[in-house]
Chains A and B, each alone.
Chain A
Amino acid sequence: MSAQQQISTTQGTPEDRQRVDALQRLTRRLHVRNNIASAILAIATGLGALLFFVIIIKLLVDGVPYIINPNFYGADGTGVVGPQIFNTLYLLVFSEIILIPIALSAAIYLVEYARQGPLVTIIHFAAETLAGVPSLVLGLFGYLVFSSVLGFGLSRLSGILTLLCLNFPVALRLFEDALVSVAREQREGGLALGSSKWHMIRTVVLPSALPGIITGVVLSAGKVIAEAAALIFTVGSANPSNVYTLNPMISTDNLTIHIWFLKTVARSVRIRMFTRSIYDQY
């Protein structure tokens, strides 16, 4: 900037002055363009942010009155979501109980045992593909395999197994990251002490990777809470009288299915408001 000013203040030949003028025009044009571009970027961000905030505010305004209303959480009747909350937690807990050991084992294999080669490539490609399968398609698969062929019917068990397929690639990815992040010196230290590989993994790698593993569990839990499409054909959309049991063979719904279901058979908007409000905090 100061260099340019210096040039412009120096007296020179007409060509020099012309060149300086052209340079100044160019600089000005570039600055105008820069400002316009910045303004457009800022406005776009503002619009996007506005969209998100409007949605959040709308949810809060409509939902909070129900959130703080204790009747909303009752066990029975219309417009209450006690059973749905229980079912959501049930599916969450049991799908994680199955998911964690399986996904962790697979991650340990990939990180600790497998050598780089076609098998690892295939497994990674399979995981990526599975992560991209639409959840509705997983629902069709779950219906076909777990509900019909294996004969579990519309039940919590079918739903849990479908959720396993849904969450496996996500959890595998995060667990792998967690294991990889454990320093090599730590592993080598373990092995140098003469312990077997499995012993070293148990005593050295897993404890160090624990924070990362917990991250993976929590993130996959978020997916379970939000899932509906994969569950509609596998756990169904209705509840027996008593849902507060651990019976895995009964058909239930969960919060997200409940919202979808109410949209089709609900008699009043009020009930929908009730259910939706749960997600304000989510």
Chain B
Amino acid sequence: MAANSVNAEAVKDTRSKRTRRSRFSDQVAHGVFLVCAILIVAIIFGIFIFLGFNGLRMFQDPAAKNFFTSTNWAPTDDVPSYGALGFILGSVVTTLLSTIIVTPLAFAMALYMTEMAPRWVNTLLRPVLEVFTGMPSVVIGFLGLIVLVPWLTKLAAPIAPSAANAGVGWGAATVILVIMILPTVVSVSIDALNAVPESVREASLALGSTRWQMMKNAVLPAASAGLATAVVLGMTRAIGEALAVGMVLQGDTHLPDGPFSLGWFFQPNINITNAILNYFSEASGTERNGYFMLGFVLLIISFLFICLSRYIASRSVYK
């Protein structure tokens, strides 16, 4: 600074003023930009701290110690119980099941669209994928409620414990999640496949591979990191999906009775987001903190997913 002002004295007065002013405004701008950039760190820390503080506070209540070990969520009973395992199970089951359905389908669609499809297929399908990637989840949930649920009610009535409620539950939620995450996974997979250089394909074909061998042995392995990222991204979306799934789950706070069976998928059932959505606004005391804890669990799960996808991305060859 001192050297600068000595310099400034040497040059003409007006010029020095202008320089000083512009340097000052440069510093102010720098500061403002830095604050804005730090803000995003502050927000994410705030989310962890506020949710974590409110959620973990529930464990002050000794009745909450079975949070991760019991499936009995009965906060208003005379002897309250806060077992959230049922909610967590619901989220995990629907997410895994929908991912298992989506992954092969999405990879097939992405492979077809990048490697084989005639031009018009891409022209037609890509905008459609885009529309569905940004589709409001309530719209899908609403469609599920008026189209899918009545249809499933008829279809699944024989294997469901209650014919009137056969259309709702994990089964319907899985279908909804498939529709929700399929476009995302396909889009990201297409990007991953397109990132594989043409030379990889040419090398494989030059060795005499059929097109399928080329895809199987050259393109898919080369794009594996990107494809894995696509699946993790889909899972992140699926586990946090609230409204669409809540509309077709319609459960209260309990898992169905009896041992785990096919019938579980075709009766009102539960997951984390549905519980928060339906019960948070009325809850008080330990129960209220319990829903913050569920939100915190959701936050941790999606955080782990993000870490996983970062790890995978760091190992990818082509970006």
CA distance A140 to B288 in the complex (A): 11
A-chain residues with CB within 8 Å of residue B179 when the two chains form the complex: 51, 55
Chain B, residues 206-225, CB within 8 Å of chain A (1/0): the string is 00001111011000000000
CA distance A49 to B141 in the complex (A): 19
B-chain residues with CB within 8 Å of residue A114 when the two chains form the complex: 37
User: Is A136 within 8 A of B276, CB to CB?
Assistant: yes
- Of the candidate stretches A12-20, A64-72, A127-135, A243-251, the one touching chain B is A127-135
CA distance A134 to B125 in the complex (A): 27
Question: Does A24 sit at the interface, judged by CB under 8 A?
Answer: no
Q: A113-B34, A169-B40 are in contact. Are A136 and B47 (CB under 8 A)?
A: no
B-chain residues with CB within 8 Å of residue A112 when the two chains form the complex: 33
User: Is B213 within 8 A of A34, CB to CB?
Assistant: yes
User: Is A134 within 8 A of B40, CB to CB?
Assistant: no
CA distance A103 to B22 in the complex (A): 23
CA distance A112 to B47 in the complex (A): 28
- Of the candidate stretches B67-75, B78-86, B159-167, B297-305, the one touching chain A is B297-305
A206 → B minimal CB distance (Å): 12
A-chain residues with CB within 8 Å of residue B291 when the two chains form the complex: 140
A-chain residues with CB within 8 Å of residue B305 when the two chains form the complex: 132
Selected from B25, B54, B306, the residue in CB contact (under 8 A) with A144 is B54
A-chain residues with CB within 8 Å of residue B39 when the two chains form the complex: 102, 106, 168
Which of the listed residues B38, B121, B139, B281 has the most CB atoms from chain A within 10 Å of its own CB?
B139
- Of the candidate stretches B1-9, B58-66, B128-136, B191-199, the one touching chain A is B128-136
User: Is A228 within 8 A of B44, CB to CB?
Assistant: no
Interface of chain B residues 265 through 294 with chain A (CB within 8 A): 273, 276-277, 280-281, 291-292
Interface of chain A residues 146 through 176 with chain B (CB within 8 A): 165, 168-169, 172
Selected from A30, A55, A282, the residue in CB contact (under 8 A) with B210 is A30
User: Is A136 within 8 A of B142, CB to CB?
Assistant: no
CA distance A105 to B30 in the complex (A): 9
Which of the listed residues A55, A145, A168, A282 has the most CB atoms from chain B within 10 Å of its own CB?
A55
User: Is B128 within 8 A of A56, CB to CB?
Assistant: yes
Which of the listed residues A45, A114, A130, A135 has the most CB atoms from chain B within 10 Å of its own CB?
A45
Interface of chain A residues 113 through 127 with chain B (CB within 8 A): 113-114, 122-123, 125-127
Which of the listed residues B26, B35, B105 has the most CB atoms from chain A within 10 Å of its own CB?
B26
Chain B, residues 155-184, CB within 8 Å of chain A (1/0): the string is 000000000000000000000000100110
User: Is A108 within 8 A of B33, CB to CB?
Assistant: yes
Chain B, residues 20-52, CB within 8 Å of chain A (1/0): the string is 001101100110111111111101111100110
B-chain residues with CB within 8 Å of residue A92 when the two chains form the complex: none
Q: A49-B125, A133-B299, A135-B240 are in contact. Are A260 and B247 (CB under 8 A)?
A: yes
* Interface size of A as a range: 35 or more
B-chain residues with CB within 8 Å of residue A108 when the two chains form the complex: 33
How many A-B residue pairs have C-beta atoms within 8 angstroms? Tell me: 230
User: Is B117 within 8 A of A45, CB to CB?
Assistant: yes
Question: Does A210 sit at the interface, judged by CB under 8 A?
Answer: no
User: Is B292 within 8 A of A140, CB to CB?
Assistant: yes
Q: A129-B303, A263-B142, A276-B139 are in contact. Are A228 and B112 (CB under 8 A)?
A: no
Q: A105-B32, A140-B295 are in contact. Are A122 and B41 (CB under 8 A)?
A: yes
A-chain residues with CB within 8 Å of residue B104 when the two chains form the complex: 44
Question: Does A217 sit at the interface, judged by CB under 8 A?
Answer: no
Chain A residue nearest to B182 (CB atoms) is A48
User: Is A136 within 8 A of B240, CB to CB?
Assistant: yes
* Interface size of B as a range: 35 or more
Selected from B109, B132, B137, the residue in CB contact (under 8 A) with A45 is B109
Chain B, residues 115-130, CB within 8 Å of chain A (1/0): the string is 0110001001100110
Chain B residue nearest to A108 (CB atoms) is B33
Chain B, residues 137-161, CB within 8 Å of chain A (1/0): the string is 1111111011100000000000000
B-chain residues with CB within 8 Å of residue A42 when the two chains form the complex: 112, 116
Question: Does A199 sit at the interface, judged by CB under 8 A?
Answer: yes
B-chain residues with CB within 8 Å of residue A256 when the two chains form the complex: 136, 138-139, 243
- Of the candidate stretches A75-83, A182-190, A219-227, the one touching chain B is A219-227
Selected from A130, A137, A226, the residue in CB contact (under 8 A) with B40 is A130
User: Is A113 within 8 A of B243, CB to CB?
Assistant: no
B32 → A minimal CB distance (Å): 6
Question: Does B227 sit at the interface, judged by CB under 8 A?
Answer: no
CA distance A122 to B129 in the complex (A): 32
B-chain residues with CB within 8 Å of residue A49 when the two chains form the complex: 124-125, 128
Which of the listed residues B29, B35, B51, B281 has the most CB atoms from chain A within 10 Å of its own CB?
B29
User: Is B138 within 8 A of A105, CB to CB?
Assistant: no
Chain A residue nearest to B139 (CB atoms) is A279
Question: Does B88 sit at the interface, judged by CB under 8 A?
Answer: no
B-chain residues with CB within 8 Å of residue A132 when the two chains form the complex: 236, 302-303, 305-306
Which of the listed residues A30, A42, A133 has the most CB atoms from chain B within 10 Å of its own CB?
A133
Can you list 12 pairs linking A and B with CB atoms under 8 Å apart? Answer: A30-B213, A38-B211, A40-B108, A130-B47, A132-B302, A133-B44, A133-B299, A134-B298, A137-B298, A196-B25, A222-B134, A260-B138
A56-B128, A133-B299, A141-B51 known, 5 other contacts, Cβ within 8 Å: A105-B36, A126-B44, A129-B303, A260-B141, A279-B135
